[in-house]
Amino acid sequence: MSNAYHIPLERFRVAVDTRRLEIELFWKRALFFWGFITTALVGYSVARDKAPFVGLVFCALGVVAAEVWMLANRGSKYWQEVWEKRVERMEVPAIGLMFGAKEESTSKGTWLSGRRFSVSRLAIAFSDFVFLAWVFLFVHQALGIEHLTVMEWGLIISTALMGLLLLRLGRSSSGSKSPPSEHPANSPQESDAQAEDEPARRRWNVERMRDTADVRLHEAATLCQTFPSAGDGGSLLNLLAFELLLKAAHTAYVGVPKRSHGYLALMSRLPLTVQERLWSVAVTAPGVPADHGFEDREHLLQSWSRNFVRLRYPFESYTDLDPEAYQARSEAWVAEGAKTEDADFQYYPTELDGLAFALKREIELWLTT
């Protein structure tokens, strides 16, 4: 199989590994900041009565460390959600639906049963509480000093400014990476309505493309039977039907594809299990001989893509030839054995019919399940 078929799986693995890394860093950063927070707490406990200014310094350290930890938790949660979105978006072309599937946990009583709490959100809430506690200690220590000196006032103002600067300048630059949601946010009512309509709309689109492909296949058969020497008309109709079926499968398993005739790219985005099932069924489809040409799958798909574009205007391939040169080129091809791989247009009609048959069966399977 071509490496192009493994691209979605490799991209999915990168997304999963990066998401796992973000989760690990979330907790490693917590340990890092707790080292500073614990040091500040111990220093404050020792110095708050013996050396009020030193106690105020430790409070300032605690406030800044707690605020940085609080903001770092939010930043880590943000990028964790970014990669969760990417994993959900890439999993269907790579392995099918797994992470995005909704699973209900088995209840084991009201007290010991699981609940849908977010561990990272609970950690963020706790970091907020720690920050507020340090702010309280800082204010309490400052108010406990009867006559604040210039140095003490400078420390208070510097701590406040640092807190504001962290909020202002601590954000990452926008535009370099995509946010968790790549589309404008809708209201909850609109989002719920779209979520409910999406399966029905997708099914309707798949059925519509399948039915249109059936019409094109019937038209191709009728044209070839009625006018056996009709040229490339029947081949173009068969290609159009094949493209509709391939895009219907893409819509079913991945989503509505972009406007393109790149059959290799469309096929490579399907789940690997679906791809293998399609090729296996195509080999055993009615009318496919034992000496079929399915070994080079990439070449087949690319040939059909080129044909869909070039067969509409075949004369453009020979505009630089005169009649004598065109005739000589045709005779030379026949004299060399009329090999398919040497032809200007390579149709592979049997293989096309076999893969179209497999796509129709796959679409019916998706519609029934």
- 144 lies in the same domain as 253: no
With respect to residue 128, please indicate whether it lies within any of the assigned structural domains: yes
Report how far residue 168's alpha carbon sits from residue 261's, in angstroms, rounded to the nearest whole number. Answer: 48
Same domain, 86 and 132: yes
Residues 141 and 237 in one domain: no
Do 70 and 141 lie in one domain? The reply is yes
Which among 368, 369, 365, 367 has a CA at the least distance from the CA of 277?
Answer: 365
* Same domain, residue pair 259 and 357: yes
Report the pLDDT value the prediction gives residue 338, as an integer from 0 to 100.
67
> Which residues, at least 6 apart from 70, have a Cβ–Cβ distance to it below 8 Å?
124, 127, 128, 130, 131
Residues of the chain whose pLDDT is less than 50?
1-5, 175-196
The pLDDT of residue 202 is 87
Same domain, yes or no, for 21 and 90? yes
Domain that holds residue 314: 190-368
Q: Indicate whether 110 belongs to any domain.
A: no
Same domain, yes or no, for 215 and 153? no
In this prediction, residue 188 carries a pLDDT of 47
Residue 238 and residue 140 in one domain: no
Residue 105 lies in a domain: no
Residue 26 one-letter amino acid: F
Closest residue by Cα to residue 205 from 268, 267, 253: 253
pTM: 0.47
In a domain, 75, yes or no: yes
Same domain flag for 226 and 290: yes
Q: Are residues 201 and 163 in the same domain?
A: no
Same domain, 9 and 158: yes
pLDDT at 357: 94
The answer to the question of residue 270 being in a domain is: yes
Residue 177 is assigned to a structural domain of this protein = no
Please report the pLDDT score of residue 181 as a whole number: 43
pLDDT at 360: 93
Residues 132 and 226 in one domain: no
Total domain count, the chain: 2
Judge whether 255 lies within some domain. yes
Residue 92 lies in a domain: yes
